[in-house]
């Protein structure tokens, strides 16, 4: 049990990989756990891993994982002392954090007022400016006249951004004045649909920036520390797919100034818990981008370099304890997000049932996931299947370990991006650290798997399905045996007929 506010039972308001991650850290602190799950996730591993589990509604996120009232009711019913939101869903909603606190339950994260102040990008820019943090030149008015005046001063291209959210929603690059009005309208419309807030603003567009973020951790006693930086430049449609720490090629002077800026911003709002201050880096200059007031998906690379547990730190801080003393960082770490997407076909979302899973192992290899054989991957939620992380004494050692680990990763039944990620990490541009947010456009504009990869996967999958592996044969689970004996399975190689995946031909 955590001392101070006596967190004896924790409800995790999330699912899948991050729910499992939080459950494991809670157990190391002696905290009992409560999982919540939608009807679609009844058989998800995080449900079995928790001490208790509560169904909170149908598969639609709006009726389950985004339903704050039913989640708080589940916490009350089970006697949970605290709620951890994970990332995504309700994790950055100040109204949820406020409702949790008003219910007399500890919210594992920053106070609602801090989330509200930093969650709005325009408000965040003002706070950062007052704290002396470098800013990308921008115009905070959505008036076409004001934006035209800004563009006349700074020049095109300019970048339209949503005020109320992130993830690339509402973002538009404007190359010249003739594109401006249509881009403003489209950006505002998308922002309103995504966040319920159509406000937008503009910034000067940086042609080839890097995306570098600083991990901060603060407590209610006024302590605030920076736990290194992560380079998250490799993105697809503004979504990160590979992250690493330390950021390659960043000078010590720039790194120190970036830490100081992140801490100044955190102190300006009295930041508590884990958070991330994100920057755009252009040469030796950096500019404030935004603050993520939650645990980041890529937090494991920081944990490996600093030999710490950020989730456990969040729980300890929420219980009123001080930030732990952490030693100097060592080595390098890289994370690849493996998604349920078809990289060879415009990253089309993929679904299916996991019929075979083999995960890599060895020195410096970590795999955070909720995958297991038999798990159904549906289209209701985020496409993240798991995070593969490697650590080494140097970036090159971590990179080589990642190439090997991605080659050893085997998942049949759900098309995924492991092969695509392996080719990126094995590439010469990645090896030399030539990173920017346009990396994929420059070096991987089109990608197709090696022919042997598809053939081998098809042969193995066909063999497993035809032989009844995991209870699947000809696309159906076998009927229960009714006689005194069950005939031995026949190998598909004993058959002379042809076959296609999932059915005989």
Closest CA to 284 of 207, 228, 209, 394: 209
C-alpha separations of 342 from 184, 417, 418, 503 in Å: 31, 7, 10, 22
Residue tagged active-site, from 125, 236, 255, 294: 294
**Residue with more model confidence, 383 or 503:** 383
Q: ∠ CA(49), CA(53), CA(59), 5° rounding?
A: 105
Task: For residue 294, indicate whether it is catalytic.
Answer: yes
Domains 9-108 and 137-204 share a fold: no
Q: What's the gap between Cα 3 and its chain centre?
A: 30
- Over residues 337-351, the pLDDT tens digits come to 999 999 999 999 999
Tokens found for residue 56: 């909170």
Q: How many residues does the chain have?
A: 505
- pLDDT tier at 144, thresholds 50, 70, 90: confident
Please, where are the H alpha helices in 108-179? 112-119, 121-130, 144-154
- Over residues 442-490, the pLDDT tens digits come to 999 999 888 655 555 555 555 455 545 545 444 444 443 333 333 333 3
Please, where are the H alpha helices in 294-386? 299-306, 310-318
Overall fold of domain 9-108: Rossmann fold (3.40.50)
- Over residues 52-101, the pLDDT tens digits come to 999 999 999 999 999 999 999 999 999 999 999 999 999 999 999 999 99
Question: Tell me, what's the pLDDT at 2?
Answer: 56
Question: Tell me, what's the pLDDT at 5?
Answer: 74
Domain range 137-204, its CATH number among 3.30.70.1020, 3.30.1490.20, 3.40.228.10, 3.30.470.20: 3.30.1490.20
Question: Tell me, what's the pLDDT at 226?
Answer: 98
Overall fold of domain 110-135+207-330: D-amino Acid Aminotransferase; Chain A, domain 1 (3.30.470)
Pairing of strands 384-392, 332-339: antiparallel
Cβ distance 505 to 499 under 8 Å?
Answer: yes
Question: Tell me, what's the pLDDT at 481?
Answer: 36
Tell me the C-alpha distance between 365 and 281, whole Å: 29
Question: Tell me, what's the pLDDT at 138?
Answer: 87
197-228: buried (b, 16+ CB within 10 Å) or exposed (e) per residue?
Answer: ebbbbbbbbbeebbbbbbbbbbbbeeebbbbb
The dihedral built from the CA positions of residue 487, 492, 493 and 499, taken in this order, carries a sign that is: positive
Tell me the C-alpha distance between 186 and 166, whole Å: 16
Please, where are the H alpha helices in 223-329? 252-269, 299-306, 310-318
Peptide bond into 503 cis (omega under 30): no
- Over residues 99-143, the pLDDT tens digits come to 999 999 999 999 999 999 998 888 888 999 999 999 998 888 767
Q: What's the gap between Cα 189 and its chain centre?
A: 25
Locate the domains of the chain by residue range: 9-108, 110-135+207-330, 137-204, 452-504
Q: What is the mean pLDDT of the chain?
A: 89
Question: Tell me, what's the pLDDT at 468?
Answer: 56
- Over residues 395-437, the pLDDT tens digits come to 999 999 999 999 999 999 999 999 999 999 999 999 999 999 9
**DSSP code of residue 362:** S
Tell me the C-alpha distance between 163 and 119, whole Å: 9
């Amino acid at each position: 049990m955590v001392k101070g506010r006596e967190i004896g039972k924790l409800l995790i308001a999330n699912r899948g990989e991050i729910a499992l991650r939080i459950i494991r850290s809670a157990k190391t602190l002696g905290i009992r756990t409560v999982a919540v799950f939608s009807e679609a996730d009844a058989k998800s591993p995080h449900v079995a891993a928790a001490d208790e589990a509560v169904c909170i509604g149908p598969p639609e996120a709006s009726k389950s994982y985004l339903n704050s009232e039913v989640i708080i009711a589940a916490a009350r019913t089970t006697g949970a002392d605290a709620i951890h939101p994970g990332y995504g869903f309700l994790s950055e909603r100040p109204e949820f954090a406020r409702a949790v606190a008003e219910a007399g339950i500890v919210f594992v994260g920053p106070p609602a007022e801090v989330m509200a102040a930093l969650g709005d990008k325009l408000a965040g820019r003002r706070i950062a400016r007052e704290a002396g943090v470098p800013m990308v030149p921008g115009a905070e008015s959505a008036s076409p006249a004001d934006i035209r005046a800004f563009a006349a001063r700074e020049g095109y291209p300019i970048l339209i951004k949503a005020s109320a959210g992130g993830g690339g929603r509402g973002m538009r690059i404007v190359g010249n004045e003739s594109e401006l009005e249509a881009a403003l309208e489209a950006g505002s419309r998308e922002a309103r649909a995504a966040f319920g807030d159509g406000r937008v603003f503009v910034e000067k567009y940086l042609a080839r920036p890097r995306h570098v973020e600083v991990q901060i951790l603060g407590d209610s006693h006024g302590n605030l520390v920076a736990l290194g930086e992560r380079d998250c430049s490799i993105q697809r449609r503004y979504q990160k797919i590979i992250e690493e720490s330390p950021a390659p090629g960043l000078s010590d002077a720039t790194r120190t100034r970036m830490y100081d800026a992140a801490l100044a911003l955190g102190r300006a709002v009295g930041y508590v818990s884990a958070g991330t201050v994100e920057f755009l880096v252009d040469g030796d200059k950096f500019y404030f981008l935004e603050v993520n007031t939650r645990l980041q998906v890529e937090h494991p690379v920081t944990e490996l370099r600093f030999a710490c547990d950020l989730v456990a730190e969040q729980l300890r801080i929420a219980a009123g304890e001080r930030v732990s003393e952490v030693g100097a960082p060592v080595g390098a770490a890289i994370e690849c997000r493996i998604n349920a997407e078809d990289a060879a076909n415009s990253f089309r979302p993929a679904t299916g049932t996991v019929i075979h899973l083999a995960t890599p192992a060895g020195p410096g290899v970590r795999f955070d996931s909720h995958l297991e054989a038999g798990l159904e991957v549906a289209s209701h939620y985020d496409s993240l299947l798991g995070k593969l992380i490697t650590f080494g004494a140097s970036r090159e050692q971590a990179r080589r370990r990642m190439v090997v680990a991605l080659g050893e990763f085997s998942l049949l039944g759900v098309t995924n991006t492991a092969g695509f990620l392996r080719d990126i990490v094995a590439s010469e541009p990645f090896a030399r650290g030539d990173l920017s947010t346009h990396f994929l456009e420059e070096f991987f504009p089109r990608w197709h798997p090696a022919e042997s990869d598809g053939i081998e996967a098809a042969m193995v999958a066909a063999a497993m399905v035809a032989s009844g592996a995991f209870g699947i044969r000809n696309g159906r689970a076998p009927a229960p045996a009714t006689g005194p004996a069950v005939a031995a399975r026949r190998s598909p190689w004993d058959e002379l007929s042809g076959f296609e995946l999932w059915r005989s031909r």
